[in-house]
Amino acid sequence: MAEIPKSYDPQGVEQRWYEQWLAAGCFKGKVDTSRESFAVMIPPPNVTGVLHMGHLLNNTLQDIMIRRARQEGKSALWLPGTDHAGIATQSRVEKELRQKEGKTRHDLGREKFIKVASEWRDKHGGIILSQLQKLGASCDWDRKVHTLDEGYSQAVLQAFVTLYERGYVYRGKRMVNWCPVSQTGLSDEEVIMKPTQGSLFKMRYEVVEQPGTFLEISTTRPETIPGDVAVAVNPEDSRYQHLIGKHVWRPFPRAQIPIVGDAAVEKDFGTGVLKVTPAHDRTDFEIGKRHNLTVLDVMNPDGTMNADAGPLAGLERFKARSAAAKLLEELGALVKIEPYENTVGYSERADVPIEPRLSEQWFIHYPKIEEAKRAVTSGMIKFHPERWTKTYLHWLDNIQDWCVSRQLWWGHRIPVWYRKGSDRNEAKNRHVSLQPPSDPANWEQDNDVLDTWASSWLWCLATIGWRKPGETTDELKHWYPTGALATGPDIIFLWVARMIIAGLELHGPEKKTLTDDEIRARIPFKRVYFNGIIRDKLGRKMSKSLGNSPEPLDLIAKFGADGLRFGLLSIAPKGQDILFDEDRVSQGRNFCNKIWNAARFRQMSGPMFDNSSITSIVQRINPAQLDDDDSAILHGLIGLSQATAHQLDEHEFTAYAQGLYAYFWGDFCDWYVEASKVRLADPALRDHCLAVQDLVLRQFLLLLHPVAPFITEELWHLLGYGKENEFIQNQNPSDGSDLNNAFLTASVKLDVSKVADVALLREFVAEVRATKSQANQATKRDSIITVIPKDAKAKTLLTHNRDKLGRLAGLSEMQFAESSGDRPGTVCQLGTVILEQSGTIDVAAEKIRLSKELEKIEKAVVAGEAKLSNETFVSKAPANILDGARKQLAEATAKRDEIVRMLKTLN
RNA sequence: GGGGGUAUAGCUCAGUUGGUUAGAGCGCCUGAUUGACAUUCAGGAGGUCGAUGGUUCAAGUCCAUCUACUCCCA
């Protein structure tokens, strides 16, 4: 076996293993019905996206789940893919077109534009996925899916057609969120509300029937005045109710408009008078409908004012706003302008304020809402952390129909044809199908495409072959529902909820309502893990413009993929936002190096023996030589295995990382390995001790593998645990029961009480070290101590471990005495320790130290006495708590008495 | 306006059915280093667990109110 280099160098190791894994087909998902299935579908990154910190964490989590599943022998599949990202991609391509060729998409025409966009996607779209390989992502790359793939597209269109046939899809003229830059409608979920500094314009409109009487009206959008068709007041409002039915003069273009009474007007808001602009405001549109008002659109799709805007015609909307203010002033209709902050909806992609705009759109009325709720409330789908359930239910309770048409070219073109020259709103004039009509000359296809989310909501279905309700594939039968979904809580509505609805409605034959069993069969995943959003050190979102996002590939190069993965995991609190700090990730790299060196130490400590199985290692353990530390560390190993199994099941990833870290570094390296150095020097004990180390390392590597795949695979082979062409990914760590069985078979009896004994010894060593440090003896390896043991048992324990203690605490001699005489010492649970020193004691310093300690212990004594003298406590507390309290008080009292005694000797 | 979340050491965070003297990493201070590892080792300082009240033998943990910050939805 090759000698292990001094420090861990991830670069070579990572590349070498990743290539071998790929070559051996390690990540291939195979339909194997004899095994339990476990699938994870990657949240498909946008083809326009670049790898960022969020992806690193999100994909690390998925990789952990899938690798653990593989270890457990499940038939695992992690399916990768990308999302065509309608608006984002189209904007990018149009921008390039404009910059490079000075052309718009209309210059190219639909077909040519799509071709250009496809080329752009092919060039840029795969970058993220290849970057994920550097992270170690074990996706089945041969199954990569893109939402515009032929088969996937078919599924998307079929879903639309099916929902149409089932009556869930309708076309209507509705208020939509219009993005004047992308020139398309948006769903509510794509609109970001932002507090925006603006102005509130106070104006007055003269009452036609009562010249000289004015109504004062406030608005933030005076540019829409030409679109005013009424003013509204609350019919209950005594100030204005007598005016209902009369008219006011709209200032420009000057016209009479009615005063209507409508309960939607808040009496207490502003002046209590509302200008009604049905074409440009949702509430106004509703009021307009109730009062049969005309809808007067004064704006073009690109955000400029149209001919109906009178004096404002042709102006861009924000220019029109100031022009309108000026005009009002000239007309004497402006009362005042005051600064005003309100919340304005912005287009997520273009980052400009959206316009409420009336247009013909396609809508989906969500089916299976009731079942979607039940799936989560009754635990058929489990959310981690659970609290997101509330958010999810809240959304479903207030759900609005989904505007799914987008006025774009890049995407799935809506499979609807209209009879030329006919009324499109009449069903008989429509042809809704995957196939064009047989007489195409008489029809024209809808120009719009579907919202990108109307394709990705089928992700768990269409990636493994769903093409039509009721039809299925082997993959679907095997892997659906998938095991888990890992994603950010920011897309709980956009994606997670919709996937659930899509699965419930479309997987399987048409059903009006579903039973629990049917829900179980139709849900897209059984668990959802919401990972936190990674922010910078100051809590700001990572963004390009702030330049606060580290380059993921640089981080991988700097810390190693394993180090980065472990570091991210250990700082990612469950479902909470994560403040990213590079220093904290270095902990992961350091841990890898520590593991590396522990393996190196093992290799240097003695020859390697047969490490090929648990049994072969356990056979080398000599039950007669099993000492306190062996028992404790092996017992801990079983505990760690159990804890890991539980934590991974429950998606407690942080606890998983911390548990591994504490055991390996704290228990194994700092204590066990250090202590074992004594035995390793003794030829009679060495091989037994090495066997224990081999067993610990083996099991630890198995447990660590999901989060740190590279280093564990490397050491697995370097330490002889696996044969060539076998991989650690196929080795089951189990929950420790296999270790227990092996011990049983080999008559290795672990004494659980040794765990407590070792804890006492560790406290003892820590106290001695501290005492030495205070006496400036820390460097010396030859300190002499005298111990007054607490009792016979303590003395035995100390005597048995004399050599180890000597090494760990740096002692040349440990002698026992009956009493300390009048000399000061340190009190610990096993007894009082007196450090023999040549120099004189710093009496003053010693007094301060002891007084401080006394103060602390006195508190414990007082608290303990109070507790135990409380009769209700004694009668009500359970026996073990009572026992513990008594024991604790006895110990504290003894310690206090000892300290008091020592303080006296100093006087 | 509605609904979440968070508040524990200087910083970032653990602390899962209430039960010993509340933990970790980083940072800071002191010291160590000739054979696993300075990406290391040992020690130390540092906390009335946001505030108030309640339930309980027992509260960081449960309940109520409040304060601050934060996210989502209107």
pLDDT at A543 over 80: no
Instruction: Judge whether residue A571 contacts strand B, using its CB and a 7 Å cut-off.
Output: yes
Q: Which of residues 767-826 of A touch strand B (CB under 7 A)?
A: 769-770, 773-774, 778-779
* CB proximity list for A585: less than 8 A, separation 6 or greater: A555, A559, A563, A564, A567, A568, A571
Residue scoring higher pLDDT (A408 or A155): A155
pLDDT at A662 over 60: yes
Instruction: Judge whether residue A670 contacts strand B, using its CB and a 7 Å cut-off.
Output: yes
Count other C-beta atoms under 10 Å from residue A661's C-beta.
17
Per the structure, the residue whose CA is closest to nucleotide B12 at C1' is: A579
Helix H or strand E encompassing A724: none
Which bases of chain B are under 7 A from a protein CB atom? 2-6, 12-16, 19-21, 24-27, 30-33, 36-45, 56-58, 72-74
Q: What is the pLDDT, as a whole number, of residue A189?
A: 62
Under 8 Å between Cβ of A230 and A283: no
CA of A369 to C1' of B40 (A): 58
CA of A575 to C1' of B7 (A): 17
pLDDT at A20 over 90: yes
Instruction: Judge whether residue A583 contacts strand B, using its CB and a 7 Å cut-off.
Output: yes
Specify the range with the lowest mean pLDDT, choosing from A29-43, A286-300, A606-620. A286-300
Between CA A497 and CA A185 the distance in angstroms is: 21
Between CA A585 and CA A581 the distance in angstroms is: 7
Instruction: Judge whether residue A650 contacts strand B, using its CB and a 7 Å cut-off.
Output: yes
Under 8 Å between Cβ of A604 and A686: no
SS3 content of chain A, % helix, strand, coil (to 5): 50, 15, 35
Under 8 Å between Cβ of A650 and A608: no
Q: Which residue has the tokens 């409109």?
A: A205
Q: How confident is the model at residue A617 (pLDDT cuts 50, 70, 90)?
A: very high
Instruction: Judge whether residue A22 contacts strand B, using its CB and a 7 Å cut-off.
Output: no
Q: Which of A589, A552, A478, A652 is nearest to A137 (CA)?
A: A552
- Nucleotide closest to residue A774 (CA–C1'): B43
pLDDT at A855 over 60: yes
The mean per-residue pLDDT over the stretch A592-603 comes to: 95
Specify the range with the lowest mean pLDDT, choosing from A242-256, A351-365, A539-553. A539-553
Q: What is the percent of chain A with per-residue pLDDT over 90, rounded to a whole number?
A: 50
- Nucleotide closest to residue A871 (CA–C1'): B57
Specify the range with the lowest mean pLDDT, choosing from A61-70, A183-192, A894-903. A183-192
Q: Which of residues 395-434 of A touch strand B (CB under 7 A)?
A: 398
- Nucleotide closest to residue A282 (CA–C1'): B74
CA of A6 to C1' of B35 (A): 12
pLDDT at A582 over 70: yes
Instruction: Judge whether residue A658 contacts strand B, using its CB and a 7 Å cut-off.
Output: yes
- Nucleotide closest to residue A888 (CA–C1'): B20
**Average pLDDT taken over every residue of chain A:** 88
Residue A491 CB-density burial (10 A; 0-12 exposed, 13-18 middle, 19+ buried):
middle
- Nucleotide closest to residue A765 (CA–C1'): B42
pTM of structure: 0.88
Q: Which of A713, A706, A492, A694 is nearest to A598 (CA)?
A: A694
CA of A563 to C1' of B28 (A): 26
Residue A86 CB-density burial (10 A; 0-12 exposed, 13-18 middle, 19+ buried):
buried
The mean per-residue pLDDT over the stretch A114-122 comes to: 90
The mean per-residue pLDDT over the stretch A370-383 comes to: 92
pLDDT at A593 over 90: yes
CA of A878 to C1' of B18 (A): 13
CA of A903 to C1' of B21 (A): 21
- In single-letter form, the type of residue at position A302 comes to D
Summarize pLDDT for A800-848 with one digit per residue, the tens: 999 999 999 989 889 999 887 777 778 888 988 988 875 556 677 777 7
Per the structure, the residue whose CA is closest to nucleotide B32 at C1' is: A779
Give ∠ CA A449-A452-A453 in degrees, rounded to 5.
130
Q: How confident is the model at residue A73 (pLDDT cuts 50, 70, 90)?
A: very high
pLDDT at A282 over 70: yes
Between CA A441 and CA A797 the distance in angstroms is: 97
CA of A182 to C1' of B71 (A): 28
Please state the three-class secondary structure of A406-451 as a single string.
ECCCCCCECCEEEECCCCCCCHHHEEECCCCCCCHHHEEECCCEEC
CA of A811 to C1' of B31 (A): 17
Q: Which of A273-287, A676-690, A877-891 has the highest mean pLDDT?
A: A676-690
Q: What is the pLDDT, as a whole number, of residue A545?
A: 63
Q: What is the pLDDT, as a whole number, of residue A839?
A: 56
Residue scoring higher pLDDT (A824 or A523): A523
Between CA A138 and CA A60 the distance in angstroms is: 10
CA of A420 to C1' of B12 (A): 65
* CB proximity list for A893: less than 8 A, separation 6 or greater: A861, A864
- Nucleotide closest to residue A533 (CA–C1'): B71
CA of A547 to C1' of B7 (A): 29
Q: Which of A276, A519, A234, A264 is nearest to A378 (CA)?
A: A519
Instruction: Judge whether residue A535 contacts strand B, using its CB and a 7 Å cut-off.
Output: no
Between CA A231 and CA A249 the distance in angstroms is: 10
pLDDT at A482 over 60: yes
A801-808, Cβ contacts within 8 angstroms, sequence gap of 24 or more: A801/A628, A801/A761, A803/A678, A804/A629, A804/A675, A804/A678, A804/A761, A805/A761, A805/A764, A805/A765, A805/A768, A807/A674, A807/A675, A807/A677, A807/A678, A808/A671, A808/A674, A808/A675, A808/A765
- Nucleotide closest to residue A867 (CA–C1'): B57
Instruction: Judge whether residue A576 contacts strand B, using its CB and a 7 Å cut-off.
Output: yes
CA of A44 to C1' of B70 (A): 28
Summarize pLDDT for A192-245 with one digit per residue, the tens: 777 777 788 888 898 999 988 888 888 888 899 998 999 988 888 888 888 888
Q: Which residue has the tokens 């990154």?
A: A45
Instruction: Judge whether residue A194 contacts strand B, using its CB and a 7 Å cut-off.
Output: no
Q: What is the pLDDT, as a whole number, of residue A310?
A: 87
Q: What is the pLDDT, as a whole number, of residue A154?
A: 96
